[in-house]
Chain A
Amino acid sequence: MSIPPPTAQVEQPAIHVHGLEKSFKQLRVLRGVDIDVARGSIFALLGSNGAGKTTVVRILATLLKADGGTARVAGFDVATQAADVRQAISLTGQFAAVDEILTGRENLVLVARLRHLSEPGVIADDLLRRFSLTEAGSRRVRTYSGGMRRRLDIAMSLIGNPPVIFLDEPTTGLDPEARIEVWQAVRELASGGTTVLLTTQYLDEAEQLADRIAILHEGRIVVNGTLDELKQLLPPAQVEYVEKQPTLEDVFLTLVGTKTEKEQR
């Protein structure tokens, strides 16, 4: 089911956030956040724990009301056109939002029914195949591994082909293998034209996936650009000659550091 886009919104960004503010009691979490996300791109919101990434996502997903500023998703205002926004988005939260008592297939059918789609069973089987969950589809989700849950979670988010998808820390707590699987799924999404906003605290994740990266710090976006643009923010590399005897710590860090880097690749 898709909603015919009003003609005026074609050039608009998929997500437009301006001057977004939010406080929890005395704590000012967001102090004027500005973001624009182009259609069909992957946008990574970086920040340390408690920086407010999840708050931004929750406001954009209509789960939380902002105190100030405007936010539009797929051309709709999150405050005044929340129902239209919900039609156009899907959210994968920090903790896998799956029903553990149901089977994987039942979870997918449930979401397809709630999105009022015809043939929910066909949609479910198709997604189980795409996410290599066909065999596990008839098992209860309680028996799934962390990676399988996450895959199911993301599969549930794809039902109905929403044009904008929010992934809040999609790989937190996953082992490296599961992480790569999730990355693969995200790339496929974006290549299909879906706009993806993901939050992460892993810098390499942003580096791997995102077309644009923004860093959220103390309630504001401190930088926003492509990876290359961000790299240029630092002063150009200088060549200096320093004579230095290696310490045992240097040796250790060099050896171990290189090794872990290789393993990650």
Chain B
Amino acid sequence: MNKHFLGDTTVLLGRSLRHIARSPDTIITTAVMPIAFLLLFVYVFGGAIETGSDSYVNYLLPGILLITIASGISYTAFRLFLDMQGGIFERFQSMPIARSSVLWAHVLTSLVANLISLAVIVLVALVMGFRTGAGVLDWLAVAGILLLFTLALTWIAVIPGLTAKSVDGASAFSYPLIFLPFVSSAFVPTASMPGPVRAFAEHQPVTAIVNAIRDIFAQKPVGAGIWAALAWCVGILVVAYVFANLTYRRKIS
């Protein structure tokens, strides 16, 4: 590892955060769709959905948080793509800096931006009647899972950011990620789904993560579910990280 890695990453992170501060619309846009889903499902469909939970907003929030992340990370691909398009990426690459810091700065920026969006969504949910008995440690656990999930998805986003040929291509990859929660326990209990769909829903990462967060918020014992959730996050993270770095290395050599 290069001795300048931390310093260079900090400088480049400062640059990207400044971008976000100057166009906060990226955070607003990220938050609008999840808020719309919250309103739609809590006030329109929610009454007809039997979840066995006391309030539907309590049931729904974890899934909405994951949708927020899935839509938020597309901006990482977008920002990385813009850097590649302009000459600034090549300028950085021809400078005596730690080369991996260029990617890490974008990844850390994604963590910060998504954290802000998530906080906005939680506030909206609280206004809509979301309640939890979770204490500080529980909230930290939830934040940890969400950060890990953000990190994993962000490294996925790095790949189209590096390889896309157009702006649309750079962000289109996130659509399947946004819709994955619909075929999970995020909106309705999986028990209500027909066999094959149910099998898929119960064995995909969103269900595991949603269930773990829901249990923490509901102050239920999380049991083995939390390990499944963490395993999914770490697994996706490792695979995405490796592929993103392979792509990067191919791109810069």
Contacts and interface: CB of A to CB of B under 8 A. Distances in A.
Secondary structure dominating the interface of A:
loop
Secondary structure dominating the interface of B:
helix
B220 interface: no
B90 A114 contact: no
Given A101-B19, A101-B23, A114 B95 contact: yes
Contact of A98 (B12, B18, B88, B252): B88
Contact of B94 (A86, A96, A113, A153): A86
A94 interface: yes
A99 B8 contact: no
A91 to B, nearest CB: 4
A36 interface: no
Given A63-B90, A97-B86, A86 B95 contact: yes
B92 interface: yes
B87 A96 contact: yes
B90 A97 contact: yes
7 contacts: A62-B94, A91-B94, A100-B86, A101-B18, A111-B91, A113-B11, A116-B96
The 9 closest A-B pairs by CB, nearest first: A97-B87, A97-B91, A93-B87, A91-B94, A87-B96, A86-B96, A61-B94, A113-B11, A95-B87
Interface residues of B, number: 23
A86 to B, nearest CB: 4
B11 A63 contact: no
Contacts of A102: 15, 18
A41 interface: no
Contacts of A62: 93-94
Given A95-B86, A102-B15, A89 B94 contact: yes
B253 interface: yes
A98 B253 CA distance: 22
Given A97-B86, A115-B95, 19 more contacts: A62-B94, A63-B90, A86-B95, A87-B96, A94-B87, A95-B87, A96-B87, A98-B86, A98-B87, A98-B88, A101-B22, A102-B15, A102-B18, A110-B15, A113-B11, A114-B8, A116-B4, A116-B96, A153-B87
Nearest to B18: A102
B252 A63 contact: yes
Interface of B: 4, 7-8, 11-12, 15, 18-19, 22-23, 86-88, 90-97, 252-253
A55 to B, nearest CB: 13
Interface residues of A, number: 31
Nearest to A110: B15
B12 to A, nearest CB: 8
Nearest to B22: A101
A7 B62 CA distance: 65
A62 B4 CA distance: 19
A204 to B, nearest CB: 25
A253 interface: no
Contacts of B18: 101-102, 106
Given A91-B90, A96-B87, A100-B86, A114 B253 contact: no
Contacts of B253: 64-65
A102 B96 CA distance: 21
